[in-house]
Chains A and B, each alone.
Chain A
Amino acid sequence: MNSSLKVKLVNITKRREFIAFIGLIVICIAFSFISSNFFTLFNLMSVLRQASINAVLAAGMTFVIISGGIDLSVSSTVSLSGTVAAMVMVNMEMGTVSGLLSALLVGLIVGAINGIVITKAGVPPIIATLGTMTVASGLALAVTGGYSVSGLTEGFAFFGRGNLSFLPVPVLIVALMYVISHLLLQKTRFGAAVFGVGGNEEAARLAGVSVDRTKIGVYMFSGLMAAVGGIILASRLDSGQPMAGDGLELDAIAAVVIGGASVNGGVGGVVGSLIGALIMSVLDNGFDLIGVGRYYQMVFTGIVLILAVAVQKKSKNR
């Protein structure tokens, strides 16, 4: 093996997401031994499809967590953007494109409010987004009266349930979102600012970074990703449901943290978060296959989250 390749391989093993990646491989191998149904194309596509919503939320959450914040409002943003899209298409009969755009707009608005409340009013992120989570959730329930809005357009169905050859459309959307997120985070000045603000806010400010603008951008991006998740979910459910997203914020945070990001900010990457989301989805799927019930799955997922972070912490200290 030539030496530069060797150095590259060694460097890969030192990356934070490497442990999560090994974990994912081990879990996959274990399940494929336990269940012959695991390693089939159909099942793997189903794993990816299952992972898609969490993965897309985790992409946005990665930015937030690296910036040193947290975004609890993504779950309600999923619900609100889905119901707004559904109402635009069903009640207002404005068509698929308007439905999509209105959902994305909802995400951007919730994110912008989060960012402005956090930066300009100085409310800590966990409280600010807890507040907007409750507000958005309330709005979704209020505008629908608590009922689901069904009868979405056929075009809309494509985003959650369609296939391009053997690939589910939501999986393709996730792939696209991750390419964009990765480039945005690793290759642009915005991404560099996100790492800077999360790593050392004061140093970032003294280096001429617009801290407030960066934070607002981060929450808007998270809101946008939540809206994309909302579109996929509403499309899969074929309805806008005001409580569809409940609980998703915790899954997204879990995926990001399993992927190696630090909740203290400054550290992380979308590749890790994607692996984190896949681990969670593979666990759910594998346990389904071997007949472990939903309730116990939750128990295992919780344990995996804690284990993942504990192992990363240990390996960092070695």
Chain B
Amino acid sequence: MTGVTKRFPGVLALNNVNFSLEENEVHALVGANGAGKSTLIKTLAGVYPPDGGTIELRGEKQVFRKPMDAKMKGIAVIYQEFTLFPDLDVAKNIYFNMEPRYFKHGPINWKKVYAQAKALIARFGLDLDIYTKVRNLSIAQQQMVEIAKALACNANILVMDEPTATLTISEVERLFEIIEDLKKKNVSIIYISHRLDEVTRISDRLTVLRSGTVVGSAVTSQTNKNEIIRMMVGENIKNDILPNPTVDTPPVLSVKSISNAFIHDISFDLKKGEVLGIAGLVGAGRTEVVRALFGADKIRSGEILVNGTKQNINNPKDAIRCKIGLLPESRKEQGLFMNLPIRRNITIVHLKAFLRGIFISRSKETKEANSQMKTLKIVAPSAEFPVLNLSGGNQQKVVLGKWLCANCDILILDEPTRGVDVGAKEEIFQAVSHLSAQGKSVIFISSELEEVLRVSNRILTMYKGRITATLNQNQTDINLIMQYITGGDSNEQLA
């Protein structure tokens, strides 16, 4: 791709971008949110026709006007949101809309569909049962179906957009094996990820985008994470946030032996002004614990004490009454009202504070929204801007602003840094640190262990729905946490 340029109203999304992909290579594309990674990919895939520049495939100039054009030339994209039919089985999904026929325009040869699917899956060593409905597959398996779909139409360029975002560690390992295998079978891969440790591990080369321009390109083995981060953000970022030291403060939240279908016998205390990290693999029950605390899921046994008083938290409303707030793991589906302005997204939990008589006072709301936007450095033209048009980091800050506005004493942050660029991440860490300095308590969940370790006073580790250890921040390290969350053997745990 040479000199590719793409304009959107008011934004230069891609500015004269050059990008090349060699045969049998894994080329990582990195950059903060809004850097232009997705736009570049969509240009390559024929979703957006470029405003300038050319795309060449093996020296041949290409014009992709629609996704089908790119697909015909062997370019397949696996987006973060899967494009599968949950009620069809694996084979039908793989060959959807390109089923083999008995003759041209004739009826579908289902026998052949299944035979081909079987052969394809065997050839690439994917562990899938072709007769299972996609609905019943894990996320990792669904991703394999997407890969199989791409391979079925003879793709030799495979683009993967944040493929590991929702995978567990072992699933990530499996994906990397598949990628290595694909490389050997003449498939070149463009790998987009926020996770630099993955990028440095799996890719042969990498290209860094910032604000629509290529700021650097390197052979992966000749660079390192710090250098990549520097290229991504363009400046040296502060990396020195540490939890505020907590003296022995009384617990604001005591969880006593709560259980439900997902979690077993969970007990812990959260102290005033403390940041409590929860580390665990996806599926270990981290989200389920905090959902139970917040009343989003029911608990079967055990009790929850807030400021020493037993509380029945049956729904989120009860939790909010106890001044508990939850920043949920998926902000789009659970945290935000995309069509509503920033203002209302911030005030919705605490509307009664903005009443004048029986009516909501818009000026009071606007004042609050503006003040939260200032505190959290939310970048938007005004408080009336719909959150739909904000970047991931700014959206996440709006969700945070919602709970700051509600004046919670206990704030639960479930994967607050997911899909958020490096700069915004730092701002979220700063907000957490600021909150704890004000005497608020925070429960912090992240799949990035370094993050948990950086912001938390104490860390709970979870494995298969149970708490396996409670660690003090200054007495632990990533390796130890990793042992506890992977169910590592007990001798090592004692060490």
A residues lining the B interface (CB < 8 Å): 183, 187-189, 192, 195-196, 199-200, 202-210, 266-267
B358 touches A188 (CB 8 A): yes
A187 touches B316 (CB 8 A): no
A200 touches B333 (CB 8 A): yes
- List residues of chain A with CB within 8 A of the CB of B402: 207
Contact of B360 among A192, A204, A208, A209 (CB under 8 A): A192
- Closest-CB distance, B335 to chain A (whole angstroms): 6
A187 touches B360 (CB 8 A): yes
A207 touches B349 (CB 8 A): yes
Which 9 residue pairs spanning A and B have beta carbons closest together? Answer: A187-B359, A199-B337, A208-B320, A208-B317, A266-B339, A207-B349, A189-B351, A207-B348, A202-B334
Supplied contacts A188-B358, A192-B348, 18 more A-B pairs, CB within 8 Å: A183-B359, A187-B360, A188-B360, A189-B351, A189-B360, A196-B337, A199-B339, A200-B333, A203-B334, A203-B335, A203-B337, A204-B337, A205-B316, A206-B316, A206-B334, A207-B316, A207-B349, A267-B339
A157–B403 alpha-carbon span in the complex (Å):
53
What are 21 contact pairs spanning A and B, CB under 8 A?
A183-B359, A188-B359, A188-B360, A189-B352, A192-B344, A192-B360, A195-B344, A196-B337, A199-B338, A203-B333, A203-B334, A203-B335, A203-B336, A204-B348, A206-B294, A206-B296, A206-B316, A206-B326, A207-B349, A266-B337, A266-B340
- Closest-CB distance, A81 to chain B (whole angstroms): 27
B residues lining the A interface (CB < 8 Å): 294, 296, 315-317, 319-320, 326, 328, 333-340, 344, 348-349, 351-352, 355, 358-360, 402
B337 touches A195 (CB 8 A): yes
B336 touches A200 (CB 8 A): yes
A203–B337 alpha-carbon span in the complex (Å):
7
- List residues of chain A with CB within 8 A of the CB of B349: 207-208
**Residue on A nearest B360 in the bound complex, by CB:** A187
A183–B348 alpha-carbon span in the complex (Å):
17
With a 10 A CB-CB cut-off, give which of B355, B358, B402 has the most chain A CB atoms.
B358
- Closest-CB distance, A11 to chain B (whole angstroms): 8
A206 touches B351 (CB 8 A): no
- List residues of chain A with CB within 8 A of the CB of B344: 192, 195
A210 touches B334 (CB 8 A): no
A199–B326 alpha-carbon span in the complex (Å):
19
Chain A's interface: helix, strand, loop or mixed, by majority?
helix
Say whether, besides A187-B360, A192-B344, A208 and B316 are in contact (CB < 8 Å).
Answer: yes
- List residues of chain B with CB within 8 A of the CB of A187: 358-360
With a 10 A CB-CB cut-off, give which of A200, A202, A204 has the most chain B CB atoms.
A200
**Residue on A nearest B348 in the bound complex, by CB:** A207
A15–B333 alpha-carbon span in the complex (Å):
25
A207–B319 alpha-carbon span in the complex (Å):
10
- List residues of chain A with CB within 8 A of the CB of B296: 205-206
- List residues of chain B with CB within 8 A of the CB of A209: 317, 348
B360 touches A210 (CB 8 A): no
- List residues of chain B with CB within 8 A of the CB of A203: 328, 333-337
**Residue on B nearest A199 in the bound complex, by CB:** B337
- Closest-CB distance, A139 to chain B (whole angstroms): 35
- List residues of chain A with CB within 8 A of the CB of B360: 187-189, 192
With a 10 A CB-CB cut-off, give which of B316, B348, B358 has the most chain A CB atoms.
B348
- Closest-CB distance, B389 to chain A (whole angstroms): 12
Say whether, besides A187-B360, A202-B333, A203-B333, A210 and B352 are in contact (CB < 8 Å).
Answer: no
A256–B359 alpha-carbon span in the complex (Å):
24
- List residues of chain A with CB within 8 A of the CB of B358: 187-188
- List residues of chain B with CB within 8 A of the CB of A183: 359
- List residues of chain A with CB within 8 A of the CB of B316: 205-208
- List residues of chain A with CB within 8 A of the CB of B337: 195-196, 199-200, 203-204, 266
- List residues of chain B with CB within 8 A of the CB of A267: 339
- Closest-CB distance, B285 to chain A (whole angstroms): 19
B340 touches A199 (CB 8 A): yes
- Closest-CB distance, A16 to chain B (whole angstroms): 10
B317 touches A210 (CB 8 A): yes
With a 10 A CB-CB cut-off, give which of B333, B351, B360 has the most chain A CB atoms.
B351
A206–B332 alpha-carbon span in the complex (Å):
12
A266–B336 alpha-carbon span in the complex (Å):
12
- Closest-CB distance, A3 to chain B (whole angstroms): 14
- List residues of chain B with CB within 8 A of the CB of A204: 337, 348
- List residues of chain B with CB within 8 A of the CB of A208: 316-317, 319-320, 349
**Residue on A nearest B349 in the bound complex, by CB:** A207
With a 10 A CB-CB cut-off, give which of B316, B326, B337 has the most chain A CB atoms.
B337
With a 10 A CB-CB cut-off, give which of A199, A200, A207, A210 has the most chain B CB atoms.
A207
A189–B340 alpha-carbon span in the complex (Å):
15
A195–B402 alpha-carbon span in the complex (Å):
16
Contact of B340 among A195, A202, A206, A210 (CB under 8 A): A195
A196 touches B359 (CB 8 A): no
A203–B326 alpha-carbon span in the complex (Å):
11
- List residues of chain B with CB within 8 A of the CB of A200: 333-334, 336-338
- List residues of chain B with CB within 8 A of the CB of A189: 351-352, 355, 360
- Closest-CB distance, A25 to chain B (whole angstroms): 26
**Residue on A nearest B365 in the bound complex, by CB:** A192
- List residues of chain B with CB within 8 A of the CB of A206: 294, 296, 316, 326, 328, 334-335
- List residues of chain A with CB within 8 A of the CB of B340: 195-196, 199, 266
A90–B362 alpha-carbon span in the complex (Å):
48
A267–B344 alpha-carbon span in the complex (Å):
13
- List residues of chain B with CB within 8 A of the CB of A195: 337, 340, 344
A206–B337 alpha-carbon span in the complex (Å):
12
A95–B50 alpha-carbon span in the complex (Å):
73
A204–B355 alpha-carbon span in the complex (Å):
19
A216–B319 alpha-carbon span in the complex (Å):
23
A266–B388 alpha-carbon span in the complex (Å):
13
A267–B337 alpha-carbon span in the complex (Å):
11
- List residues of chain A with CB within 8 A of the CB of B294: 206
A249–B362 alpha-carbon span in the complex (Å):
33
With a 10 A CB-CB cut-off, give which of A189, A199, A208, A266 has the most chain B CB atoms.
A208
- List residues of chain B with CB within 8 A of the CB of A196: 337, 340, 348
- Closest-CB distance, A198 to chain B (whole angstroms): 9
A276–B83 alpha-carbon span in the complex (Å):
37
**Residue on B nearest A191 in the bound complex, by CB:** B360
A255–B328 alpha-carbon span in the complex (Å):
37
A207–B347 alpha-carbon span in the complex (Å):
10
A202–B291 alpha-carbon span in the complex (Å):
13
**Residue on B nearest A206 in the bound complex, by CB:** B316
- List residues of chain A with CB within 8 A of the CB of B352: 189
